[in-house]
Amino acid sequence: MATASEVINRALRLIGAVAAGEEPSAQESADALTALNAMLADWERRGASLGFSEAVNASDELDIPAHAVKAVTYSLAVELAPEYETNPSPLVMNEADQGYRRILRDAIGLPRSSVTHLPSAHGWYDITSE
């Protein structure tokens, strides 16, 4: 598991708000922790259940599965970007979107689609010819 601080620091680095090796200020960490808790509570309401319980301090372990940490981190970066008057990169946006979709799919149990069982066609078929 990751701590809230680890997720927050990486999210801030992803949007360029904090340089590598630097730490955010206490106020930045507190604001990001509030955003993180709100985002994860919203995910829970939408059905993307991670078994989340609110983090009180940045040093708290996040009660989320290890496979969800990247999605949470990238999504938090997208959430925080407007506060720092920046736009997340397309990579960050894509990772956040795809990560959230995976978590939501896993939470509601949607199977992956497969079309291998469907017949294949060769050439064009004109439905008006019959």
Superfamily in which the 4-108 domain is placed by CATH:
P22 tail accessory factor (Gp4) (1.10.3230.20)
56-111 pLDDT per residue, tens: 999 999 989 999 999 999 999 999 999 999 999 999 999 999 999 999 888 877 66
Cα–Cα distance measured from residue 36 to residue 16, given in angstroms and rounded to the nearest whole number: 18
Q: Where are the alpha helices (H) located in 15-117, listed in sequence order?
A: 26-46, 69-80, 90-108
Q: How far is CA 49 from the centre of its chain?
A: 13
What is the predicted pLDDT for the residue at 109?
72
Contact 68, 6 (CB under 8 A): no
Contact 50, 40 (CB under 8 A): yes
Q: In the predicted model, what is the mean pLDDT of the chain?
A: 89
Looking at the DSSP bridge assignments, the partners of residue 3 are 61
Structural tokens at position 64: 């989320």
pTM confidence score: 0.82
- Give residue limits of the domains in the chain: 4-108
Between the alpha carbon of residue 1 and those of residues 5, 43, 46, 107, 130, the distances in Å are 12, 19, 23, 19, 61
Contact 80, 55 (CB under 8 A): no
